[in-house]
Chain A
Amino acid sequence: ASKAFSLYANIDILRPYFDVEPAQVRARLLESMIPVKMVNFPQKIAGELYGPLMLVFTLVAILLHGMKTSDTIIREGTLMGTAIGTCFGYWLGVSSFIYFLAYLCNAQITMVQMLSLLGYGLFGHCITLFVTYNIHFHSLFYIFWLGVGGLSTLRMVAVLVSRTVGHTQRLILCGTLAALHMLFLLYLHFAYHKVVEGILDTLEGPNVPPFQRVARDIPVVSNALLNTTAKAAALTL
């Protein structure tokens, strides 16, 4: 019984981070797309975990939907695990990494705030992937990648810049975050793209994806597929 009690005690630690109203969540979602120019004064970050958690789960759901519609050839059993692992891994891992960098660069940000900031930054990813999984145009994706992804990255960068002193530190911190955030979106779009058999056919086309993800869980992977994948990667590099 004391064990159960301690579990409830732990839940109560998280309680203040879930104290939100729907209107607040909506407002924060919209704000996450608007970079704020003011960098001389530390911008306020709400340390809230409900929105980010829901956004991560939404991203998982969108990835599942996208993987299915693009006929990714992985055993279905691991689609779920892959999606959940990817999204949560990104959110928690990159947050921790940036928090560590922030500690090195003397930025004023707490772990919960970082989690919250990055979580809301995934809103742009959600929108982009939701649209481009249903409308398959590479050029549309690039527009969304730069536009929507760029906006949410700019917002996070602006917040971090306002909380860091010194040009080098700002550069390191914001550069890393921007790179990781944008590359993640790129990865999500192309990694779960079609892994078609006739990949050689698409090599001649102008819109070749930069890299293909070789699903790690296919036990019986035909040599042909591996070879063509390697050829595609080598040719585009």
Chain B
Amino acid sequence: MLLEQGTTLRALEPCARHSLRAPLRSCLLQDEQFADLADMSLSGDITVEGEITVPVGAPSPDEDFSTLDEPVRETIMRDLKAVGKKFVHVMYPKKSSTLLRDWDLWGPLVLCVSLALMLQGGSADSKEDGGPQFAEVFVIIWFGAVVITLNSKLLGGTISFFQSLCVLGYCVLPLTVAMLVCRLVLLAGAGTISFVVRLLVVLAMFAWSTLASTAFLADSQPPNRKALVVYPIFLFYFVISWMILTFTPQ
């Protein structure tokens, strides 16, 4: 189908509104504007299947796709849903690129803050403010993530800085769950059994974190250097697990 120069897509308006399951030619023939084109010879009916979204009409001001006019609740819910979807991806690590493509740092921030808050209130001596300080946990998590990212980039990784930060932050989720469980177990008492239970839970979550982040990050490395990237991630989650395991409440 030949269009003369200058024919705008606007002329196709009527046709675009039909779902293009009918052969294109017959669709065109229904419109008088294209009556002249009916004389064109086509080798056959060109059946076009599927749906084509053609930008119909000029963008009118009312239909502007801007998020400024939508209610605040919608904006927040959209971001929350994105964060929630990523949480699910972390808990069931499949090889998907959602975490990498739409990176955001909300989830890591929430996890980091909640972990740091839960690590407060522990002490070695009742007179002192035991437990790692809030700022300490914060700095360790973010500084550790930055170091790992730099390391993987220096080893020739193809992942971007913030994508890597995003993945490492989200994979702290199992450890936050472990912290929650530890606190609950410690409510019941702080004996040997509770220590063993906490140890097992923390070990399991540590393995889960490391495996989840490896599943996302290792693909972006040259294949023979995967071990070099996995080791610092292992150390990083080890330090966080150590902080969780050694937490003793007042």
Interface residues of A (CB under 8 A from B): 11, 14-15, 17-22, 25, 50, 53-54, 57-58, 60-61, 64-65, 68, 73-77, 79-81, 218-220
Contact = CB atoms under 8 A, between A and B. Distances in A.
Interface stretch (B64-72, B88-96, B231-239): B231-239
B224 A219 contact: no
A22 B225 contact: yes
Given A54-B232, A57-B232, A64-B242, A18 B154 contact: yes
B121 to A, nearest CB: 12
DSSP class of A's interface residues: helix, strand, loop or mixed? helix
B239 A22 contact: no
Interface in B152-192: 153-156
Contacts of B131: 76-77
Interface string B206-250: 000000000000000000110110011001001100100010000
Interface in B105-163: 122-125, 127-133, 136, 140, 150-151, 153-156
A73 B231 contact: no
Contact of A73 (B125, B129, B132, B242): B125
Nearest to A21: B224
A75 B224 contact: no
B228 A22 contact: yes
Given A60-B239, A76-B131, 8 more contacts: A20-B228, A22-B227, A73-B125, A74-B124, A75-B129, A76-B123, A76-B124, A77-B132
Nearest to B228: A22
Contacts of A218: 128
B231 A77 contact: no
Contact of A22 (B125, B130, B224, B232): B224
Nearest to B152: A18
Nearest to B231: A54
Nearest to B247: A76
Contacts of B122: 76
Q: How large is the interface on B (under 10, 10 to 19, 20 to 34, 35 or more residues)?
A: 20 to 34
19 contacts: A11-B150, A11-B154, A18-B154, A21-B224, A22-B228, A25-B228, A50-B151, A60-B239, A61-B238, A61-B239, A68-B246, A74-B124, A75-B128, A76-B122, A77-B132, A77-B133, A79-B132, A80-B136, A80-B140
Nearest to A23: B224
B162 to A, nearest CB: 11
Report the 9 A-B pairs with minimum CB-CB distance, sorted nearest first: A18-B154, A77-B133, A22-B227, A68-B246, A77-B132, A77-B136, A57-B235, A15-B154, A76-B132
B151 A18 contact: yes
Nearest to B129: A75
A180 to B, nearest CB: 25
B45 to A, nearest CB: 53
A172 to B, nearest CB: 35
B235 A58 contact: yes
Nearest to A60: B239
Contact of A50 (B124, B130, B155): B155
A18 B155 contact: yes
B225 A80 contact: no
Contacts of A65: 242
A219 B128 contact: yes
Contacts of B235: 54, 57-58, 61
Contact of A81 (B125, B136, B246): B136
A220 B231 CA distance: 39
Given A18-B154, A57-B235, A220 B224 contact: no
Given A21-B225, A22-B228, A76 B154 contact: no
B151 A64 contact: no
